[in-house]
Amino acid sequence: MKLLWVSFCLCCASLIHAQSDILVLKEKERNIKFWTKGSPILFQFSNTQWITGYIKDIRNDSLLINQYITRQLPNQFGVFSLDTMWLGLLQLHVNEIRGMPSARRGSSVFTNGALLQTGSGAYVLINIFNSLYRGDAVFGKDNLPGLGIAAGVFLLGKLQQWRHKDFLLLGKKYRLEIISGAPK
């Protein structure tokens, strides 16, 4: 009975596969995110098009992606519902991936400069309209410091917008690497 049990376990062990290949996003030498076969992935292709899909296979230096698009379409009752359209398989080299979406949670109007730009632009418009309504000089000595501060705040918002990245550009700091799980 022991011999039968041992032979059964050895037969089962020879049939299982321990680990498949893994796609790893690295920041310098630190691992940020992992993808395996069957994982959903979103990336920016070399032509700057964003591609969504499932990883069908990871080979030595290439990926096989089953692409899809999810969008809202009206159904027969006029209510919008989600519709998924499968686009087919895309085989690409790992170096054809240009960027990955940023996983940072701080992407809002407070960090991308939109609030500073909107607020300072609204202040300038209201200030100009009030000056014209009251008959004051728009660029008079009393009004100029407020307009200058608003322009500075607008430029600060532009600087924040310029520095804010909503995706990780692969290159010097970030890179994709395939780790082979097959025994050698």
Domain ranges of the chain: 18-102+167-179, 114-163
pLDDT at 181 over 90: no
pLDDT in the model for residue 113: 86
Structure tokens belonging to residue 89 = 């398989």
What's the pLDDT tens digit per position in 141-155? 888 888 899 999 999
Evaluate if pTM is beyond 0.75.
no
147, 127 contact by CB (below 8 A): yes
Neighbours of 159 (CB within 10 A): 12
Q: How far apart are CA 82 and CA 73, in angstroms?
A: 6
What's the pLDDT tens digit per position in 3-60? 877 777 777 666 665 567 889 999 888 998 999 999 999 999 999 899 999 999 998 8
pLDDT in the model for residue 79: 92
pLDDT in the model for residue 169: 85
pLDDT in the model for residue 139: 85
18-102+167-179 CATH fold: SH3 type barrels. (2.30.30)
